[in-house]
C-alpha cells in the first residue's frame, strides 16, 4: 500500500486528494475504513481474509512508512500496517464504525452480527440481528447513540440503541 497524491493543492470538495494502492499479495479486498478517535490511526477491513489492519498516520494525508526495499515498479516505502484483529470466518468484515471510546463495531457479513472490538482489537461482544447479510453501520440520532445497520438480504435498515455515542466524523 502506498499513498499517491492526486491534488496536493487546490483541493475541491468531493474530490479525491490521495489514493492508497494495496498490493494484491498483501491485502485481499480492502473494504471498511475508519479512523480512531484521536485521528492517529487508519483502520482498514480486509473482507476476503477477515483481517482488520491498523495503519498509523504520520500527519494528515500521510501514513507512517517503512522501507520496502527495491521492487520493480513499486515505491521504496510502504505504510506500516499492524494486524489489529480478525473476524471469525465464514463471516466477512464489511462496513464498520467507531464509538467515542474507540471501540470498533464491525458488520460481519454472512453472520447476522455486528462484532464489537476494543480499541486494541480484543473481541468484546456481538449485536445480533435478523438478517445474516450485514453490510454497513453508522451512528446517528440526536444523542448519536442510535446504531444504524444495513441488512442487504432483507433490504432494510435496523436501528439499535448503543451504550455510548458514536465517534462524530464532523461537526454539525
The most confident of the ranges 20-29, 70-79, 151-160 is 151-160
- Cell readout for 103 is 471501540
Largest CA distance in the chain: 52
User: In the prediction, which pLDDT does 6 show?
Assistant: 39
**pLDDT tens for each residue of 17-38:** 454 544 444 556 788 899 999 9
Q: How far is CA 113 from CA 17, 30, 40, 88, 117, in A?
A: 34, 20, 28, 11, 12
pLDDT band at 61 (very low <50, low <70, confident <90, very high): confident
pTM score of the predicted model: 0.78
Side-chain half-sphere CA neighbours of 141 within 13 A:
15
**What span, in angstroms and rounded, lies between the C-alpha atoms of 20 and 139?**
26
The CATH class of 18-161 is mainly beta
User: In the prediction, which pLDDT does 172 show?
Assistant: 61
Query: Which of 72, 41, 67, 71 has the alpha carbon at shortest distance from 55?
Result: 41
Mean pLDDT of the chain: 81
pLDDT band at 163 (very low <50, low <70, confident <90, very high): very high
**pLDDT tens for each residue of 108-139:** 999 999 999 999 999 999 999 999 999 999 99
Burial group, residue 153, by CB count within 10 angstroms (0-12, 13-18, 19+): middle
Rounded-to-10 torsion of CA 52, 56, 57, 58 = -160
| Domain residue ranges in the chain | 18-161
Q: How far is CA 162 from CA 129, 145, 148, 149, in A?
A: 14, 5, 10, 12
Amino acid at each position: 500500500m502506498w499513498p499517491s497524491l492526486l491534488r496536493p493543492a487546490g483541493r475541491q470538495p468531493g474530490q479525491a486528494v490521495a489514493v492508497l494502492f494495496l498490493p494484491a499479495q498483501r491485502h485481499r479486498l480492502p473494504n471498511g475504513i475508519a479512523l480512531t478517535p484521536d485521528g492517529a490511526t487508519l483502520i482498514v477491513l480486509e473482507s476476503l481474509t477477515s483481517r482488520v489492519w491498523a495503519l498509523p498516520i504520520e500527519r494528515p494525508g500521510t501514513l507512517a512508512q517503512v522501507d520496502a526495499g527495491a521492487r520493480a515498479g513499486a515505491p521504496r516505502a510502504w505504510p506500516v500496517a499492524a494486524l489489529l484483529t480478525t473476524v471469525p470466518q465464514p463471516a466477512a468484515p464489511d462496513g464498520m464504525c467507531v464509538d467515542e471510546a474507540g471501540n470498533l463495531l464491525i458488520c460481519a457479513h454472512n453472520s447476522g452480527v455486528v462484532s464489537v472490538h476494543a480499541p486494541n482489537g480484543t473481541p468484546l461482544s456481538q449485536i445480533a440481528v435478523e438478517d445474516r447479510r450485514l453490510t454497513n453501520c453508522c451512528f446517528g440520532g440526536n444523542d448519536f447513540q442510535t446504531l444504524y445497520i444495513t441488512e442487504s438480504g432483507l433490504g432494510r435498515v435496523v436501528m439499535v440503541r448503543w451504550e455510548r455515542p458514536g465517534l462524530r466524523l464532523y461537526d454539525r
